[in-house]
Structure 1
Amino acid sequence: MPSRQHRKQSRRKPRTGRPRAPLYAAALVAVVGAGYYLGSGGDSGTGALGKPTPSPGLDGGGPVSQQEPGAPESEEPRPGASPSAAEAAESANQPPIPQRGDGEFDTVAVPGTSRTVGKGTPLRYGVAVERGLGQDPDGFAREVEGVLADRRGWTTGGKAAFQRVDRPPYDFVVRLASPGTTDELCAKHGLDTGGEVNCSGGTDVVVNLRRWVLLTPAYQGRAAMYHALIVNHEVGHRLGYGHRGCPGPGRPAPAMMQQIKGLNGCVINAWPYDSDGRAIEGPKLD
Protein backbone atom coordinates (compact mmCIF):
# COMPACT_ATOMS: atom_id res chain seq x y z
CA MET A 1 0.00 0.00 0.00
CA PRO A 2 1.19 3.61 -0.50
CA SER A 3 3.04 5.17 2.38
CA ARG A 4 0.74 8.13 2.49
CA GLN A 5 -0.85 8.83 5.82
CA HIS A 6 -3.86 11.00 6.44
CA ARG A 7 -4.81 12.15 9.88
CA LYS A 8 -8.28 13.35 10.74
CA GLN A 9 -8.20 16.88 12.00
CA SER A 10 -11.18 18.84 13.24
CA ARG A 11 -11.35 22.53 12.68
CA ARG A 12 -9.66 24.25 15.51
CA LYS A 13 -11.39 26.87 17.59
CA PRO A 14 -10.08 30.39 17.06
CA ARG A 15 -7.53 31.57 19.56
CA THR A 16 -8.55 34.14 22.08
CA GLY A 17 -6.61 37.27 22.80
CA ARG A 18 -4.26 38.91 20.38
CA PRO A 19 -3.85 36.97 17.12
CA ARG A 20 -0.42 35.67 16.23
CA ALA A 21 -0.39 37.47 12.93
CA PRO A 22 -2.29 40.19 11.03
CA LEU A 23 -5.61 39.11 9.52
CA TYR A 24 -6.20 39.34 5.82
CA ALA A 25 -8.60 38.22 3.13
CA ALA A 26 -7.59 37.88 -0.51
CA ALA A 27 -8.87 40.09 -3.29
CA LEU A 28 -10.09 37.14 -5.31
CA VAL A 29 -13.64 37.34 -6.69
CA ALA A 30 -15.03 36.06 -9.96
CA VAL A 31 -16.23 39.39 -11.33
CA VAL A 32 -13.69 42.13 -12.04
CA GLY A 33 -14.34 45.04 -9.75
CA ALA A 34 -17.27 43.34 -8.03
CA GLY A 35 -15.99 43.70 -4.51
CA TYR A 36 -15.75 45.91 -1.47
CA TYR A 37 -12.79 46.66 0.75
CA LEU A 38 -13.28 46.43 4.50
CA GLY A 39 -10.94 47.95 7.02
CA SER A 40 -7.91 50.16 6.53
CA GLY A 41 -4.29 49.22 6.18
CA GLY A 42 -1.28 50.48 8.01
CA ASP A 43 2.19 49.64 9.25
CA SER A 44 1.90 47.70 12.48
CA GLY A 45 5.62 47.14 12.98
CA THR A 46 5.23 43.39 13.42
CA GLY A 47 5.46 40.59 10.91
CA ALA A 48 4.59 36.91 10.98
CA LEU A 49 3.84 35.54 14.44
CA GLY A 50 4.24 38.96 16.02
CA LYS A 51 8.00 39.09 15.39
CA PRO A 52 9.60 42.40 14.40
CA THR A 53 9.25 43.11 10.71
CA PRO A 54 12.57 43.11 8.82
CA SER A 55 13.42 46.65 7.81
CA PRO A 56 13.62 45.88 4.07
CA GLY A 57 10.23 45.37 2.47
CA LEU A 58 9.48 44.16 -1.03
CA ASP A 59 11.22 47.23 -2.35
CA GLY A 60 14.25 46.53 -0.16
CA GLY A 61 14.11 49.91 1.50
CA GLY A 62 11.51 50.32 4.19
CA PRO A 63 9.12 48.59 6.54
CA VAL A 64 6.67 46.16 5.09
CA SER A 65 3.19 47.64 4.74
CA GLN A 66 0.82 45.65 6.93
CA GLN A 67 -2.61 45.55 8.49
CA GLU A 68 -2.96 46.54 12.11
CA PRO A 69 -3.70 43.41 14.20
CA GLY A 70 -7.42 43.01 14.73
CA ALA A 71 -8.39 45.10 11.67
CA PRO A 72 -9.13 42.51 8.96
CA GLU A 73 -9.65 43.25 5.31
CA SER A 74 -11.95 41.49 2.90
CA GLU A 75 -13.14 41.50 -0.66
CA GLU A 76 -16.67 40.31 -1.12
CA PRO A 77 -18.94 40.13 -4.17
CA ARG A 78 -21.46 42.88 -4.78
CA PRO A 79 -24.95 41.62 -3.77
CA GLY A 80 -26.77 40.37 -6.84
CA ALA A 81 -23.64 40.20 -8.99
CA SER A 82 -23.76 37.47 -11.63
CA PRO A 83 -20.86 35.23 -12.67
CA SER A 84 -18.73 36.40 -15.58
CA ALA A 85 -19.09 34.80 -18.97
CA ALA A 86 -15.62 33.28 -18.58
CA GLU A 87 -16.51 31.72 -15.23
CA ALA A 88 -19.83 30.45 -16.56
CA ALA A 89 -18.07 28.82 -19.52
CA GLU A 90 -15.43 27.30 -17.26
CA SER A 91 -18.00 26.00 -14.79
CA ALA A 92 -19.87 24.27 -17.62
CA ASN A 93 -16.82 22.05 -18.10
CA GLN A 94 -16.31 21.30 -14.41
CA PRO A 95 -18.09 18.94 -12.02
CA PRO A 96 -20.49 20.76 -9.69
CA ILE A 97 -18.69 22.49 -6.83
CA PRO A 98 -20.14 21.33 -3.50
CA GLN A 99 -21.39 24.28 -1.48
CA ARG A 100 -20.34 22.48 1.68
CA GLY A 101 -18.05 19.55 2.45
CA ASP A 102 -17.95 17.44 5.58
CA GLY A 103 -16.58 20.28 7.70
CA GLU A 104 -13.65 18.11 8.80
CA PHE A 105 -10.11 18.28 7.46
CA ASP A 106 -7.41 15.72 6.77
CA THR A 107 -3.84 16.90 7.15
CA VAL A 108 -1.86 15.71 4.15
CA ALA A 109 1.44 13.83 4.37
CA VAL A 110 3.34 13.22 1.12
CA PRO A 111 5.64 12.22 2.88
CA GLY A 112 5.18 13.55 6.41
CA THR A 113 7.54 16.51 6.10
CA SER A 114 9.20 18.36 3.26
CA ARG A 115 12.72 19.66 2.98
CA THR A 116 13.29 23.14 4.34
CA VAL A 117 13.37 25.85 1.68
CA GLY A 118 14.82 29.31 2.27
CA LYS A 119 17.28 30.62 4.83
CA GLY A 120 16.78 30.88 8.56
CA THR A 121 14.34 29.20 10.91
CA PRO A 122 11.51 27.83 8.77
CA LEU A 123 7.85 28.53 9.32
CA ARG A 124 6.19 25.15 9.86
CA TYR A 125 3.08 24.87 7.73
CA GLY A 126 0.49 22.17 7.26
CA VAL A 127 -1.75 21.45 4.28
CA ALA A 128 -5.28 20.25 4.98
CA VAL A 129 -8.17 19.39 2.66
CA GLU A 130 -11.81 19.29 3.69
CA ARG A 131 -13.47 15.93 3.24
CA GLY A 132 -16.19 15.58 0.61
CA LEU A 133 -14.74 17.95 -2.00
CA GLY A 134 -13.80 15.35 -4.59
CA GLN A 135 -10.27 16.78 -4.79
CA ASP A 136 -6.89 15.05 -4.68
CA PRO A 137 -5.39 15.98 -1.28
CA ASP A 138 -1.87 14.89 -2.20
CA GLY A 139 -2.01 16.83 -5.45
CA PHE A 140 -3.12 19.98 -3.61
CA ALA A 141 -0.32 19.58 -1.06
CA ARG A 142 2.31 19.10 -3.76
CA GLU A 143 1.09 22.18 -5.58
CA VAL A 144 1.22 24.34 -2.44
CA GLU A 145 4.65 22.96 -1.57
CA GLY A 146 5.93 23.64 -5.08
CA VAL A 147 4.76 27.25 -4.99
CA LEU A 148 6.38 27.98 -1.63
CA ALA A 149 9.63 26.34 -2.77
CA ASP A 150 9.82 28.18 -6.10
CA ARG A 151 12.81 30.48 -6.55
CA ARG A 152 10.42 33.26 -7.59
CA GLY A 153 8.59 32.98 -4.24
CA TRP A 154 8.90 34.45 -0.76
CA THR A 155 12.14 32.64 0.09
CA THR A 156 14.12 34.87 -2.29
CA GLY A 157 16.37 37.35 -0.51
CA GLY A 158 16.41 35.37 2.73
CA LYS A 159 13.18 36.92 4.00
CA ALA A 160 11.32 33.65 4.65
CA ALA A 161 11.84 29.90 5.00
CA PHE A 162 9.25 27.14 4.97
CA GLN A 163 8.84 23.47 5.83
CA ARG A 164 5.65 21.47 5.33
CA VAL A 165 4.87 19.26 8.31
CA ASP A 166 2.06 16.84 9.12
CA ARG A 167 1.59 17.53 12.82
CA PRO A 168 1.56 20.47 15.26
CA PRO A 169 2.94 22.89 16.06
CA TYR A 170 2.00 24.84 12.96
CA ASP A 171 2.86 28.42 12.11
CA PHE A 172 0.06 28.32 9.57
CA VAL A 173 -2.14 25.77 7.80
CA VAL A 174 -3.19 26.08 4.15
CA ARG A 175 -6.74 24.72 3.99
CA LEU A 176 -8.72 23.84 0.85
CA ALA A 177 -12.36 24.29 1.84
CA SER A 178 -15.81 24.37 0.28
CA PRO A 179 -17.45 27.79 -0.07
CA GLY A 180 -19.70 27.22 2.94
CA THR A 181 -16.91 26.01 5.18
CA THR A 182 -14.68 28.87 3.97
CA ASP A 183 -17.36 31.30 5.13
CA GLU A 184 -17.49 29.65 8.56
CA LEU A 185 -13.73 29.60 9.04
CA CYS A 186 -13.26 33.18 7.89
CA ALA A 187 -16.18 34.47 9.96
CA LYS A 188 -14.30 33.36 13.06
CA HIS A 189 -11.73 36.00 12.14
CA GLY A 190 -14.36 38.66 11.48
CA LEU A 191 -14.33 38.22 7.70
CA ASP A 192 -17.31 37.93 5.35
CA THR A 193 -16.25 35.89 2.32
CA GLY A 194 -19.70 35.50 0.77
CA GLY A 195 -19.04 31.97 -0.52
CA GLU A 196 -16.72 33.43 -3.16
CA VAL A 197 -13.31 34.39 -1.82
CA ASN A 198 -10.32 33.22 0.22
CA CYS A 199 -9.07 34.56 3.53
CA SER A 200 -6.15 34.50 5.92
CA GLY A 201 -6.56 34.88 9.66
CA GLY A 202 -4.76 33.60 12.73
CA THR A 203 -2.93 30.46 11.65
CA ASP A 204 -5.44 29.66 8.89
CA VAL A 205 -4.81 30.35 5.20
CA VAL A 206 -8.13 29.34 3.63
CA VAL A 207 -8.39 28.58 -0.09
CA ASN A 208 -11.95 28.61 -1.39
CA LEU A 209 -12.62 25.62 -3.64
CA ARG A 210 -14.67 27.85 -5.94
CA ARG A 211 -11.68 30.06 -6.73
CA TRP A 212 -9.26 27.12 -6.95
CA VAL A 213 -11.42 25.42 -9.58
CA LEU A 214 -13.02 28.30 -11.50
CA LEU A 215 -10.04 30.69 -11.43
CA THR A 216 -10.78 34.29 -12.55
CA PRO A 217 -11.33 35.78 -16.02
CA ALA A 218 -7.74 37.00 -16.51
CA TYR A 219 -6.33 33.56 -15.65
CA GLN A 220 -8.65 31.30 -17.61
CA GLY A 221 -6.61 28.43 -19.06
CA ARG A 222 -3.73 29.16 -16.64
CA ALA A 223 -4.75 27.19 -13.58
CA ALA A 224 -1.22 26.55 -12.26
CA MET A 225 -0.36 30.25 -12.52
CA TYR A 226 -3.54 31.33 -10.76
CA HIS A 227 -3.04 28.74 -8.01
CA ALA A 228 0.43 30.19 -7.46
CA LEU A 229 -1.11 33.67 -7.16
CA ILE A 230 -3.60 32.48 -4.53
CA VAL A 231 -0.89 30.84 -2.42
CA ASN A 232 1.61 33.68 -2.79
CA HIS A 233 -0.96 36.40 -2.09
CA GLU A 234 -2.43 34.75 1.01
CA VAL A 235 0.88 33.55 2.44
CA GLY A 236 2.23 37.02 1.72
CA HIS A 237 -0.44 38.43 4.01
CA ARG A 238 0.52 35.79 6.58
CA LEU A 239 4.08 37.11 6.40
CA GLY A 240 2.81 40.63 7.00
CA TYR A 241 2.83 42.08 3.47
CA GLY A 242 0.10 44.49 2.48
CA HIS A 243 -1.44 45.27 -0.89
CA ARG A 244 0.47 46.83 -3.77
CA GLY A 245 -0.63 48.73 -6.85
CA CYS A 246 0.39 48.49 -10.49
CA PRO A 247 3.89 49.93 -11.04
CA GLY A 248 3.16 51.02 -14.61
CA PRO A 249 1.59 50.01 -17.94
CA GLY A 250 2.95 46.79 -19.39
CA ARG A 251 4.81 45.83 -16.22
CA PRO A 252 4.07 42.65 -14.21
CA ALA A 253 1.40 42.99 -11.55
CA PRO A 254 2.79 42.39 -8.04
CA ALA A 255 1.63 39.20 -6.33
CA MET A 256 0.23 41.40 -3.55
CA MET A 257 -1.85 43.42 -6.01
CA GLN A 258 -5.61 42.87 -5.93
CA GLN A 259 -5.50 41.79 -9.55
CA ILE A 260 -9.13 40.74 -9.78
CA LYS A 261 -10.19 44.36 -9.28
CA GLY A 262 -8.38 45.27 -12.48
CA LEU A 263 -4.81 45.20 -13.74
CA ASN A 264 -4.64 48.97 -14.39
CA GLY A 265 -2.33 48.45 -17.34
CA CYS A 266 -0.18 45.75 -15.72
CA VAL A 267 0.09 42.21 -17.06
CA ILE A 268 -0.78 39.13 -15.02
CA ASN A 269 1.87 37.72 -12.70
CA ALA A 270 1.74 35.30 -9.79
CA TRP A 271 5.18 35.73 -8.20
CA PRO A 272 6.79 38.12 -5.69
CA TYR A 273 10.12 37.97 -7.56
CA ASP A 274 11.19 37.42 -11.14
CA SER A 275 13.50 34.61 -12.29
CA ASP A 276 16.53 36.89 -11.73
CA GLY A 277 15.63 37.49 -8.09
CA ARG A 278 14.31 41.04 -8.58
CA ALA A 279 11.29 42.04 -6.52
CA ILE A 280 8.12 42.64 -8.54
CA GLU A 281 6.81 45.59 -6.62
CA GLY A 282 4.44 48.49 -6.86
CA PRO A 283 3.21 51.41 -4.77
CA LYS A 284 2.02 50.53 -1.28
CA LEU A 285 -1.74 50.70 -0.85
CA ASP A 286 -2.06 49.77 2.84
Structure 2
Amino acid sequence: MSTHRSHSARRRHRRGGSSAPASGRRRTGALWAGLAALTVLGASGFAVVGWADDGEKRAGSRGSSPAPVRPTDRLPSAPSPSGPSAGPSGPVAAGSPAPPAASPSAPVIPPTGPGTFVVAPGGSAQTGRGKALRYRVEVEKGLALSAPDIAEQVEGILADRRGWTADGRSAFRRVSGGGADFVVRVATPGTVDKICGQFGLDTGGEVNCNVADNVMVNLRRWLLATPVYAKDVTAYRALIINHEVGHFLGHGHVDCPAPGRPAPAMMQQIKGMRGCVPNVWPYDEKGRLVTGPALP
Protein backbone atom coordinates (compact mmCIF):
# COMPACT_ATOMS: atom_id res chain seq x y z
CA MET A 1 0.00 0.00 0.00
CA SER A 2 2.79 2.47 0.82
CA THR A 3 4.60 1.61 -2.44
CA HIS A 4 1.48 2.36 -4.49
CA ARG A 5 1.01 5.76 -2.83
CA SER A 6 4.66 6.70 -3.41
CA HIS A 7 4.48 5.92 -7.15
CA SER A 8 1.29 7.97 -7.53
CA ALA A 9 2.99 10.99 -6.04
CA ARG A 10 5.87 10.79 -8.51
CA ARG A 11 3.47 10.65 -11.49
CA ARG A 12 1.64 13.78 -10.38
CA HIS A 13 4.94 15.64 -9.92
CA ARG A 14 6.04 14.86 -13.52
CA ARG A 15 2.74 16.16 -14.93
CA GLY A 16 3.52 19.59 -13.45
CA GLY A 17 6.34 20.08 -16.10
CA SER A 18 8.64 23.15 -16.36
CA SER A 19 5.89 25.62 -17.41
CA ALA A 20 4.83 26.34 -13.83
CA PRO A 21 6.04 29.63 -12.31
CA ALA A 22 9.10 29.49 -10.04
CA SER A 23 7.04 30.32 -6.94
CA GLY A 24 4.56 27.65 -7.94
CA ARG A 25 7.39 25.18 -8.41
CA ARG A 26 8.71 26.00 -4.94
CA ARG A 27 5.28 25.58 -3.40
CA THR A 28 4.72 22.37 -5.38
CA GLY A 29 8.14 21.04 -4.39
CA ALA A 30 7.50 21.73 -0.72
CA LEU A 31 4.08 20.13 -0.97
CA TRP A 32 5.41 16.95 -2.56
CA ALA A 33 8.33 16.80 -0.12
CA GLY A 34 5.88 16.91 2.75
CA LEU A 35 3.70 14.24 1.18
CA ALA A 36 6.73 12.05 0.57
CA ALA A 37 7.79 12.40 4.21
CA LEU A 38 4.31 11.49 5.37
CA THR A 39 4.35 8.50 3.02
CA VAL A 40 7.65 7.22 4.45
CA LEU A 41 6.45 7.69 8.00
CA GLY A 42 3.21 5.92 7.19
CA ALA A 43 5.04 2.99 5.61
CA SER A 44 7.45 2.53 8.50
CA GLY A 45 4.60 2.88 11.00
CA PHE A 46 2.60 0.21 9.19
CA ALA A 47 5.57 -2.16 9.23
CA VAL A 48 5.98 -1.85 13.00
CA VAL A 49 2.25 -2.21 13.70
CA GLY A 50 2.06 -5.19 11.38
CA TRP A 51 4.94 -6.89 13.25
CA ALA A 52 3.44 -6.25 16.64
CA ASP A 53 0.04 -7.65 15.62
CA ASP A 54 1.10 -10.70 13.66
CA GLY A 55 4.49 -11.73 15.00
CA GLU A 56 8.08 -11.58 13.82
CA LYS A 57 7.63 -14.02 10.93
CA ARG A 58 5.00 -11.89 9.23
CA ALA A 59 7.06 -8.71 9.66
CA GLY A 60 10.07 -10.35 8.02
CA SER A 61 7.99 -11.44 5.03
CA ARG A 62 7.01 -7.86 4.14
CA GLY A 63 10.29 -7.20 2.36
CA SER A 64 14.00 -7.79 2.36
CA SER A 65 14.62 -4.89 4.77
CA PRO A 66 11.90 -4.70 7.44
CA ALA A 67 11.74 -1.60 9.58
CA PRO A 68 14.02 -1.84 12.63
CA VAL A 69 12.23 -2.62 15.88
CA ARG A 70 13.24 -1.00 19.13
CA PRO A 71 13.83 -3.26 22.14
CA THR A 72 10.62 -1.95 23.73
CA ASP A 73 8.67 -3.16 20.69
CA ARG A 74 9.82 -6.78 20.94
CA LEU A 75 7.19 -9.29 21.94
CA PRO A 76 8.11 -12.11 24.34
CA SER A 77 8.62 -15.47 22.69
CA ALA A 78 6.08 -18.13 23.62
CA PRO A 79 7.59 -21.37 24.99
CA SER A 80 7.47 -24.27 22.56
CA PRO A 81 4.92 -26.90 23.65
CA SER A 82 6.29 -30.38 24.03
CA GLY A 83 4.88 -33.81 24.69
CA PRO A 84 1.31 -35.07 24.55
CA SER A 85 0.09 -32.37 26.93
CA ALA A 86 1.06 -29.49 24.62
CA GLY A 87 -2.53 -28.31 24.39
CA PRO A 88 -6.14 -29.42 24.30
CA SER A 89 -6.43 -28.82 20.55
CA GLY A 90 -3.71 -31.32 19.63
CA PRO A 91 -0.66 -30.84 17.41
CA VAL A 92 -0.55 -28.05 14.82
CA ALA A 93 -0.56 -29.27 11.21
CA ALA A 94 2.65 -28.76 9.21
CA GLY A 95 2.70 -25.41 7.47
CA SER A 96 -0.08 -23.96 9.60
CA PRO A 97 0.48 -20.60 11.26
CA ALA A 98 1.46 -20.87 14.88
CA PRO A 99 -1.42 -20.23 17.30
CA PRO A 100 -1.22 -17.09 19.41
CA ALA A 101 0.74 -17.42 22.61
CA ALA A 102 -1.44 -18.47 25.53
CA SER A 103 -0.83 -18.29 29.25
CA PRO A 104 -2.73 -21.18 30.79
CA SER A 105 -3.89 -20.24 34.25
CA ALA A 106 -2.82 -22.43 37.11
CA PRO A 107 -5.64 -24.28 38.87
CA VAL A 108 -7.02 -22.63 41.97
CA ILE A 109 -6.02 -24.54 45.09
CA PRO A 110 -8.20 -23.60 48.07
CA PRO A 111 -6.00 -23.58 51.18
CA THR A 112 -8.58 -25.48 53.22
CA GLY A 113 -12.12 -26.83 53.07
CA PRO A 114 -15.01 -27.93 55.27
CA GLY A 115 -13.50 -31.30 56.13
CA THR A 116 -16.60 -33.16 54.93
CA PHE A 117 -16.67 -35.42 51.91
CA VAL A 118 -18.72 -36.63 48.95
CA VAL A 119 -18.60 -40.41 48.41
CA ALA A 120 -18.14 -41.64 44.85
CA PRO A 121 -21.23 -43.72 44.02
CA GLY A 122 -21.22 -47.28 42.75
CA GLY A 123 -18.46 -49.81 43.07
CA SER A 124 -16.14 -52.12 41.18
CA ALA A 125 -15.49 -55.79 40.69
CA GLN A 126 -12.65 -57.39 42.60
CA THR A 127 -9.18 -57.06 41.13
CA GLY A 128 -6.34 -59.31 42.27
CA ARG A 129 -6.26 -62.66 44.05
CA GLY A 130 -7.05 -63.32 47.67
CA LYS A 131 -9.51 -61.67 50.01
CA ALA A 132 -10.36 -58.23 48.63
CA LEU A 133 -9.76 -55.09 50.65
CA ARG A 134 -12.83 -52.88 50.38
CA TYR A 135 -12.21 -49.18 49.84
CA ARG A 136 -14.19 -45.99 49.26
CA VAL A 137 -13.23 -42.94 47.24
CA GLU A 138 -14.22 -39.55 48.62
CA VAL A 139 -13.73 -35.93 47.55
CA GLU A 140 -13.90 -32.99 49.93
CA LYS A 141 -17.06 -30.95 49.48
CA GLY A 142 -16.79 -27.72 47.55
CA LEU A 143 -14.02 -28.84 45.19
CA ALA A 144 -14.52 -28.63 41.43
CA LEU A 145 -13.68 -32.32 41.04
CA SER A 146 -15.82 -35.25 39.96
CA ALA A 147 -15.90 -37.98 42.59
CA PRO A 148 -16.90 -40.63 39.98
CA ASP A 149 -14.02 -39.55 37.74
CA ILE A 150 -11.49 -39.80 40.55
CA ALA A 151 -12.91 -43.16 41.58
CA GLU A 152 -12.41 -44.43 38.04
CA GLN A 153 -8.79 -43.31 38.08
CA VAL A 154 -8.13 -44.96 41.43
CA GLU A 155 -9.77 -48.19 40.23
CA GLY A 156 -7.51 -48.24 37.17
CA ILE A 157 -4.38 -47.66 39.25
CA LEU A 158 -5.16 -50.42 41.76
CA ALA A 159 -6.10 -52.84 38.97
CA ASP A 160 -2.95 -52.25 36.92
CA ARG A 161 -0.80 -55.37 36.48
CA ARG A 162 2.23 -53.37 37.72
CA GLY A 163 0.38 -52.41 40.93
CA TRP A 164 0.15 -54.14 44.29
CA THR A 165 -1.98 -57.00 42.96
CA ALA A 166 1.21 -58.26 41.27
CA ASP A 167 2.32 -59.61 44.66
CA GLY A 168 -0.20 -62.44 44.21
CA ARG A 169 -1.99 -61.85 47.51
CA SER A 170 -3.40 -58.31 47.42
CA ALA A 171 -6.88 -57.67 46.04
CA PHE A 172 -9.16 -54.64 46.01
CA ARG A 173 -12.82 -53.81 45.50
CA ARG A 174 -14.32 -50.36 45.55
CA VAL A 175 -17.56 -49.83 47.48
CA SER A 176 -19.74 -46.84 48.25
CA GLY A 177 -21.63 -48.14 51.27
CA GLY A 178 -21.18 -50.46 54.18
CA GLY A 179 -17.85 -51.04 55.84
CA ALA A 180 -14.52 -50.25 54.16
CA ASP A 181 -10.98 -51.28 54.98
CA PHE A 182 -9.56 -47.95 53.84
CA VAL A 183 -10.72 -44.69 52.28
CA VAL A 184 -8.99 -42.72 49.51
CA ARG A 185 -9.72 -39.04 50.15
CA VAL A 186 -8.79 -36.11 47.90
CA ALA A 187 -8.78 -32.98 50.05
CA THR A 188 -7.46 -29.45 50.38
CA PRO A 189 -3.99 -28.99 51.88
CA GLY A 190 -5.47 -27.70 55.15
CA THR A 191 -7.76 -30.68 55.57
CA VAL A 192 -4.94 -33.12 54.78
CA ASP A 193 -2.77 -31.36 57.38
CA LYS A 194 -5.54 -31.60 59.97
CA ILE A 195 -6.32 -35.30 59.49
CA CYS A 196 -2.67 -36.35 59.17
CA GLY A 197 -1.72 -34.12 62.09
CA GLN A 198 -4.14 -35.97 64.37
CA PHE A 199 -1.73 -38.90 64.08
CA GLY A 200 1.43 -36.86 64.56
CA LEU A 201 2.36 -36.34 60.90
CA ASP A 202 3.36 -32.91 59.58
CA THR A 203 2.34 -32.70 55.91
CA GLY A 204 3.06 -28.97 55.73
CA GLY A 205 0.29 -28.21 53.24
CA GLU A 206 2.30 -29.99 50.54
CA VAL A 207 2.32 -33.77 50.78
CA ASN A 208 0.04 -36.80 51.13
CA CYS A 209 -0.15 -39.32 53.94
CA ASN A 210 -1.61 -42.60 55.14
CA VAL A 211 -2.90 -42.60 58.69
CA ALA A 212 -5.06 -45.39 60.10
CA ASP A 213 -7.53 -46.25 57.32
CA ASN A 214 -7.15 -42.89 55.54
CA VAL A 215 -5.22 -42.53 52.30
CA MET A 216 -5.08 -38.72 52.22
CA VAL A 217 -4.37 -37.16 48.81
CA ASN A 218 -3.34 -33.51 48.85
CA LEU A 219 -5.29 -31.57 46.19
CA ARG A 220 -2.14 -29.62 45.28
CA ARG A 221 -0.25 -32.81 44.41
CA TRP A 222 -3.25 -34.31 42.59
CA LEU A 223 -3.53 -31.30 40.30
CA LEU A 224 0.09 -30.13 39.97
CA ALA A 225 2.22 -33.24 40.62
CA THR A 226 5.91 -32.36 41.22
CA PRO A 227 8.53 -30.81 38.89
CA VAL A 228 9.74 -34.28 37.84
CA TYR A 229 6.23 -35.29 36.78
CA ALA A 230 4.92 -31.87 35.75
CA LYS A 231 4.38 -33.03 32.16
CA ASP A 232 2.67 -36.26 33.20
CA VAL A 233 0.36 -35.48 36.10
CA THR A 234 -1.63 -38.67 35.43
CA ALA A 235 1.46 -40.77 36.13
CA TYR A 236 2.11 -38.92 39.35
CA ARG A 237 -1.43 -39.66 40.51
CA ALA A 238 -0.59 -43.35 40.17
CA LEU A 239 2.50 -42.79 42.32
CA ILE A 240 0.40 -41.10 45.02
CA ILE A 241 -2.06 -44.00 45.22
CA ASN A 242 0.58 -46.73 44.99
CA HIS A 243 2.80 -45.09 47.61
CA GLU A 244 0.10 -44.40 50.20
CA VAL A 245 -1.79 -47.66 49.66
CA GLY A 246 1.61 -49.34 49.93
CA HIS A 247 1.96 -47.87 53.41
CA PHE A 248 -1.51 -49.17 54.28
CA LEU A 249 -0.36 -52.62 53.16
CA GLY A 250 2.64 -52.37 55.50
CA HIS A 251 5.41 -51.26 53.14
CA GLY A 252 7.95 -48.74 54.43
CA HIS A 253 10.15 -46.23 52.65
CA VAL A 254 13.07 -47.37 50.54
CA ASP A 255 15.94 -45.55 48.83
CA CYS A 256 17.08 -45.41 45.21
CA PRO A 257 18.77 -48.75 44.43
CA ALA A 258 21.37 -47.27 42.06
CA PRO A 259 21.78 -44.35 39.64
CA GLY A 260 19.88 -44.95 36.41
CA ARG A 261 17.58 -47.55 37.96
CA PRO A 262 13.80 -47.07 38.21
CA ALA A 263 12.74 -45.26 41.34
CA PRO A 264 10.70 -47.51 43.66
CA ALA A 265 7.10 -46.50 44.30
CA MET A 266 7.90 -46.59 48.03
CA MET A 267 10.74 -44.11 47.59
CA GLN A 268 9.94 -40.53 48.68
CA GLN A 269 10.41 -39.19 45.17
CA ILE A 270 9.04 -35.78 46.11
CA LYS A 271 12.29 -35.21 48.03
CA GLY A 272 14.49 -35.91 45.00
CA MET A 273 15.28 -38.77 42.63
CA ARG A 274 18.81 -39.44 44.00
CA GLY A 275 19.96 -40.65 40.59
CA CYS A 276 16.97 -42.90 39.89
CA VAL A 277 14.75 -42.42 36.84
CA PRO A 278 11.01 -41.75 37.23
CA ASN A 279 8.77 -44.75 37.89
CA VAL A 280 5.35 -44.88 39.56
CA TRP A 281 4.66 -48.63 39.82
CA PRO A 282 5.56 -51.11 42.58
CA TYR A 283 6.31 -53.86 40.04
CA ASP A 284 7.82 -53.86 36.57
CA GLU A 285 6.37 -55.34 33.39
CA LYS A 286 7.86 -58.75 34.25
CA GLY A 287 6.23 -58.83 37.69
CA ARG A 288 9.42 -58.03 39.62
CA LEU A 289 9.23 -55.78 42.69
CA VAL A 290 10.93 -52.43 42.15
CA THR A 291 12.59 -51.67 45.46
CA GLY A 292 15.76 -50.44 47.12
CA PRO A 293 17.53 -50.29 50.48
CA ALA A 294 15.10 -49.88 53.36
CA LEU A 295 15.09 -46.55 55.15
CA PRO A 296 14.42 -46.08 58.86
**TM-score when normalising by structure 1:** 0.66
Distance in 2 of aligned mates of 1:259 and 1:283: 14
How many residues are paired up? 194
Deviation of the 1:230 alpha carbon:
0.3
Deviation of the 1:257 alpha carbon:
0.5
1:96 aligns with 2:108: yes
Give the structure 2 partner of residue 39 of structure 1.
Answer: none
Give the structure 1 partner of residue 203 of structure 2.
Answer: 193
Distance in 2 of aligned mates of 1:209 and 1:251: 29
Pair member with larger Rg: 2
Distance in 2 of aligned mates of 1:186 and 1:250: 33
1:134 aligns with 2:144: yes
Deviation of the 1:184 alpha carbon:
1.3
Give the structure 2 partner of residue 273 of structure 1.
Answer: 283
1:209-246 CA-to-partner distances (Å, cap 9, x unmatched) read: 01111110110110111000000000000000001111
Deviation of the 1:92 alpha carbon:
6.5
1:104-155 CA-to-partner distances (Å, cap 9, x unmatched) read: 101102xx22010111100000000001111121111111111000000000
Distance in 1 of aligned mates of 2:270 and 2:208: 13
Query: Structure 1 regions of 5+ residues with no counterpart?
Result: 1-90
Higher relative contact order (CA 8 A, sep 6+): 1
1:61-116 CA-to-partner distances (Å, cap 9, x unmatched) read: xxxxxxxxxxxxxxxxxxxxxxxxxxxxxx9632311112232101102xx22010
1:243 aligns with 2:248: no
Query: Structure 2 regions of 5+ residues with no counterpart?
Result: 1-102
Deviation of the 1:263 alpha carbon:
1.2
Give the structure 2 partner of residue 55 of structure 1.
Answer: none
**TM-score when normalising by structure 2:** 0.64
Letter in 1 for 2:159: A
Q: Are the aligned partners of 2:107 and 2:223 in contact in 1 as well (CA < 8 Å)?
A: no
For the residue of structure 2 that corresponds to 1:155, the secondary structure is helix
Give the structure 2 partner of residue 259 of structure 1.
Answer: 269
Deviation of the 1:196 alpha carbon:
1.2
For the residue of structure 2 that corresponds to 1:128, the secondary structure is strand
Distance in 2 of aligned mates of 1:198 and 1:92: 26
1:251-282 CA-to-partner distances (Å, cap 9, x unmatched) read: 10000001122211110000000111111111
Runs of 4+ in 1 over 4 A off after TM superposition: none
Identity %: 57
